């Protein structure tokens, strides 16, 4: 509403001022309501954007599901690898123990002669390892300690007699031209 329009109607200045003051109050209230509505609209827009972002995240559900499946597969593979490594370590330990018990001199050389793959796949590993080592021992006795006295010499018992340690020392001294040792 314009002041000129009211004056053209023949209203006095006080009446126009009164109407204009009342009009300003109504306009001010309407503007406040408009500002509040604008603020609510901006909040609603922000919430809508957040909701759309969340919904877009759910659209990637198939991707997230495939990533979970991928990680699950990787976990299963690493678990299988570790179980295989542990089984290999246990097999290697039992094979080394069996070779040592059989008197093996070089576990590495003996393993090279054994069919380790077949022994790993065996259902009764302990018996099959023992049989394989015994067969290897028969064919390759040099890889194992022998029971013959020549290979397992016994030291002197300390008894004196003809040709003992003293006579050997005296013979060596004489051969070198040294005088006999006195006791």
* pLDDT tens digits, one per residue of 6-42: 788 888 888 888 888 888 888 888 888 888 889 899 9
**pLDDT at 149 (0 to 100):** 55
Could you tell me which residue, 170 or 45, shows the higher pLDDT?
45
**pLDDT at 86 (0 to 100):** 92
What is each CA distance from 41 to 28, 33, 34, 53, in whole angstroms?
A: 20, 12, 10, 18
- Burial profile 147-166: b = 16 or more Cβ within 10 angstroms, e = fewer: eeeeeeeeeeeeeeeeeeee
* pLDDT tens digits, one per residue of 65-100: 888 899 999 999 999 999 999 989 998 889 999 988
Q: Is the pLDDT of residue 47 over 90?
A: yes
What is each CA distance from 68 to 63, 77, 78, 82, 180, in whole angstroms?
A: 9, 14, 15, 21, 91
**pLDDT at 142 (0 to 100):** 84
The residues, any chain, with a CB within 8 Å of residue 139's CB and separated by 6 or more, are: 113
**pLDDT at 49 (0 to 100):** 92
Residue-range domain boundaries for the chain: 3-59, 86-143
CB 173 within 8 A of CB 180: yes
**pLDDT at 85 (0 to 100):** 93
In terms of Cβ atoms closer than 10 Å to its own Cβ (0-12, 13-18, 19+), residue 25 is exposed
Measured at the alpha carbon of residue 74, what is the angle toward residues 70 and 80, in degrees to the nearest 5?
145
For a pLDDT cut of 70, what percent of the chain falls above it?
A: 88
Tokens encoding 39: 């603020």
**pLDDT at 148 (0 to 100):** 57
- Burial profile 99-129: b = 16 or more Cβ within 10 angstroms, e = fewer: beebebeebeebbeebebeebeebeebeebb
State mean pLDDT over 93-111.
88
Q: Is the pLDDT of residue 164 over 60?
A: no
Question: Mean pLDDT across the chain, nearest whole number?
Answer: 83
State mean pLDDT over 121-136.
89
**pLDDT at 159 (0 to 100):** 53
């Amino acid at each position: 509403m314009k002041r000129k329009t009211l004056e053209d109607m023949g209203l006095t200045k006080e009446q126009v001022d009164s109407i204009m003051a009342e009009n300003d109050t109504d306009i001010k209230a309407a503007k406040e309501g408009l500002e509040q509505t604008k603020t609510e609209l901006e909040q609603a827009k922000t919430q809508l954007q957040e909701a759309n972002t969340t919904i877009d995240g759910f659209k990637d559900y198939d991707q997230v599901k495939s990533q979970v499946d991928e990680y699950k597969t990787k976990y299963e593979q690493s678990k299988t690898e570790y179980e295989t490594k542990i089984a290999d370590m246990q097999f290697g330990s039992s094979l080394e123990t069996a070779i040592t018990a059989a008197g093996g001199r070089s576990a590495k050389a003996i393993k090279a002669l054994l069919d380790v793959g077949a022994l790993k796949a065996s259902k009764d590993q302990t018996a099959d390892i023992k049989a394989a080592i015994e067969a290897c021992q028969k064919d390759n006795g040099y890889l194992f300690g022998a029971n013959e006295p020549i290979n397992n010499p016994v030291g002197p018992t300390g008894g004196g007699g003809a040709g003992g340690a003293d006579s050997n020392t005296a013979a060596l001294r004489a051969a070198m031209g040294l005088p006999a040792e006195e006791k």
